[in-house]
Amino acid sequence: MAEFIMKTIRKTASSFVAFVALTLSPLSSAIASSDELKTLTDFGTNPGELSASYFQPQQSNNTIVVLLHGCTQIGEQLAQDIGLLGLAKEHGFSVLIPQQSNSNNITTCFNWFSPQDSDKDQGETLSIKQMVEAMRSKVAVSSSQGANVYIVGLSAGGAMSASLMMHYPDMFEAGAVVAGIPYPCADGLIKAISCMKNGPASQDELINAAKAALGNDSQLPRLSVWTGDSDKVVNALNADALSNQWQTLLTTTNSVKDKLSHQKAKSFQDKVTTEQWLNSDNKPVLEQVTIANLDHGFPVNPAEKFGGAVDKYLLAAPVAAMPKIINFFGIDKK
């Protein structure tokens, strides 16, 4: 009975917040029609009541990219429209696509703002962890340090990706948050709206809460952060806060303490600013890409190979995000 009540509360709250707590994203057109996408079944207790599909190439390099969609989106369609499926076929990696339902959230947002779904081993967070573990077994991925597992999230999916990387840092080699929000910025509706509009209330609180979630025995995943400086849905200050959080954790957490060097470059007639933080081995462990005059959405550029297609919240940009993210992950070099 208690479990039923908690699920009812969660879904009722999700429905109430849906129209505000994440206009965080896109309407997609039709579902991607592909015989290559299969339904993931028997992946665990699934307390978050999510579903999932996956793509697995015939010749796999034992790498998985997890994609978390934004509100109102169909994950399979998003994977196709941002160029991820094309890149997967090109480089031989698998794609895992968790899908939210409107019975959990009326606008199919991942419930990043609800502790019942965003805390460690709770609700949707645990469901996605179970999906990753099942997919790892399916493609025989090494279990050491989360090697060869990566995550990308847009908007609400980006916020949930930040949560997953903080709770399960050893599961992921690297991740990308696009137009998203750092964890743990909100634990309810009012804070969620404030985070979206203004960014985190306190950087110190954000860092301290992250340290508590992370612990001292974990290796942080590498992180790529993408934002548009004209995002009217999720303030670009969230990207700054997420990058600052990661910098602090990388340089102060016992198990990952490192001295970082910083480099900054502008490209495409100063429309794209890329900042990178490199570790002592001169390897980028953190980057932030800010695109001038870009609103809320995923940067695409149809002129690029696997650069994606322009659609609502899939925004024309000087540079396509997905190929660059795959390059940051290092998957295109395997």
The pLDDT tens digits of the residues spanning 69-83 come to 999 999 999 999 999
Residue 229 has pLDDT above 90, yes or no: yes
Mean pLDDT, residues 187-201 taken together: 93
pLDDT higher at 279 or 309: 309
Compute the mean pLDDT over every residue in the chain, rounded to the nearest whole number.
88
Name 73's Cβ contacts closer than 8 Å, sequence gap at least 6: 25, 26, 27, 28, 108, 154, 313
Query: Can you give the pLDDT at residue 3?
Result: 41
- 248-282 residue pLDDT tens: 998 876 555 678 999 999 999 999 999 999 998 89
Query: Can you give the pLDDT at residue 17?
Result: 47
Burial of 157 (0-12, 13-18, 19+ CB in 10 A): buried
Closest Cα to residue 85, out of 317, 309, 315?
309
Residue 4 has pLDDT above 70, yes or no: no
pLDDT band, very low/low/confident/very high, at 142 (cuts 50, 70, 90): low
Residue 233 has pLDDT above 90, yes or no: yes
DSSP assignments along 84-139, one per residue = HHHHHHHHT-EEEEEE--TTTSTT----TT-HHHHSTTSHHHHHHHHHHHHHHHHH
Cα 243 to Cα 38, 181, 208, 225, 237: the distances in Å are 35, 11, 15, 7, 10
Mean pLDDT, residues 136-153 taken together: 78
Instruction: Report the percentage of the chain scoring pLDDT > 90.
Output: 73
Mean pLDDT, residues 186-201 taken together: 93
pLDDT higher at 44 or 24: 44
- d(C-alpha 240, C-alpha 234), whole Å: 12
Residue 35 has pLDDT above 80, yes or no: no
Query: Can you give the pLDDT at residue 255?
Result: 56
* Residues 65, 96 contacting (CB under 8 angstroms): yes
SS3 of residue 54 by DSSP: strand
Helices and strands of the chain, counted as H and E runs:
10, 12
- d(C-alpha 149, C-alpha 136), whole Å: 8
pLDDT band, very low/low/confident/very high, at 189 (cuts 50, 70, 90): confident
DSSP state of 70: -
- d(C-alpha 47, C-alpha 122), whole Å: 7
SS3 of residue 298 by DSSP: strand
Query: Can you give the pLDDT at residue 211?
Result: 87
pLDDT band, very low/low/confident/very high, at 107 (cuts 50, 70, 90): very high
pLDDT band, very low/low/confident/very high, at 214 (cuts 50, 70, 90): confident
Residue 12 has pLDDT above 50, yes or no: no
Query: Can you give the pLDDT at residue 217?
Result: 63
- d(C-alpha 36, C-alpha 75), whole Å: 14
Query: Can you give the pLDDT at residue 172?
Result: 95
Query: Can you give the pLDDT at residue 231?
Result: 98
Domains of the chain, residue spans: 2-333
- d(C-alpha 185, C-alpha 182), whole Å: 6
- What CATH number does the domain located at 2-333 have? 3.40.50.1820
Query: Can you give the pLDDT at residue 175?
Result: 98
Amino acid at 273: T
Mean pLDDT, residues 182-191 taken together: 92
Residue 297 has pLDDT above 70, yes or no: yes
- d(C-alpha 188, C-alpha 14), whole Å: 10
pLDDT higher at 251 or 68: 68
Query: Can you give the pLDDT at residue 34?
Result: 55
Query: Can you give the pLDDT at residue 334?
Result: 64
Find the range with the poorest average confidence among 5-19, 127-141, 149-163, 175-189.
5-19
Residue 212 has pLDDT above 50, yes or no: yes
Instruction: Report the percentage of the chain scoring pLDDT > 70.
Output: 85
